[in-house]
Amino acid sequence: MVFVTGDTHGDPNRLSKNHLKCLNEGDTLIVCGDFGFIWDKSKAEQKFLKALSKRNYNICFIDGTHENFDLLNAYPLTIWNGGKVHQISDNIFHLMRGQVFEIDGLKIFTMGGGESPDLDARIEDNPWLKYEIPSKNELLEGAANLENNDCKIDIIITHEPSSTIKGFLKLGESEAVRVTTLNAYFDELSKCSEFKRWFFGSLHLDKYISNTYIGVHKAVVNAHTGERVAFDV
């Protein structure tokens, strides 16, 4: 089975065995960005990754807007279940942008990345932050991979939502909604593709916008059924 959750931001409680007791051997958990456990190569971080590597299920993640891309991109690039990944360990994978994976009978399209509101202020001190925005080539590769699958997939996993969903969720807020090129790309993706469910994590909410669009944060959701199987930690 495939399960989905939101940004973990390096919080060990979010990936504790107790919180993930719904996962069985051979299952796959996908984190919708901002994984946070490949950040500084500290002893604590390496110890936790080693513990995760001993689990009998897969832990996968797309990238978000808070990643150390220098560290992430240093891992080996390989193919896993039909798509490109950075392999962290035997059971931990970074699902790269614009890929289609076939996992437990589901075709899953992934597109990590986004644009932080304070990107310009932070990029001078952290030059790798510029990589949080998907490149033109990554967006084109995503479109090509969708076309190769007749634009018919089961699950879409992104960090950011489309501009339409983002605008809907921020109705009533006084500040103008920040819409990026990536949000607009997702609008086009939603129009031209057939899919069952779309999961995103950047807004840090657990919310069913519809049976199709699902915001995830601390909940764990069964990607096959859309059912929540674990809640706040």
Read off the pLDDT of residues 105-129 as tens digits, 9 standing for 90 and up. 999 999 999 876 555 555 555 655 6
pLDDT at 167: 82
**If you average pLDDT over residues 200-227, what whole number do you get?**
95
What distance separates the 2 farthest-apart alpha carbons in the chain? 47
**If you average pLDDT over residues 86-112, what whole number do you get?**
98
pLDDT at 131: 85
Mean pLDDT is lowest, of 17-26, 83-92, 115-124, 151-160, for 115-124
DSSP string, 46-84: HHHHHHHTTSSSEEEE---SS--HHHHTTSPEEEETTEE
Which of 200, 189, 227 is closest to 211 using CA atoms?
A: 227
Its pTM stands at 0.93
Tokens of 24: 């069985």
pLDDT at 213: 96
Percent of the chain with pLDDT over 90: 80
pLDDT at 180: 83
**If you average pLDDT over residues 155-166, what whole number do you get?**
94
pLDDT class of 207 with cuts at 50, 70, 90: very high
Q: Strand, coil or helix: what is 87? A: strand
**If you average pLDDT over residues 174-188, what whole number do you get?**
81
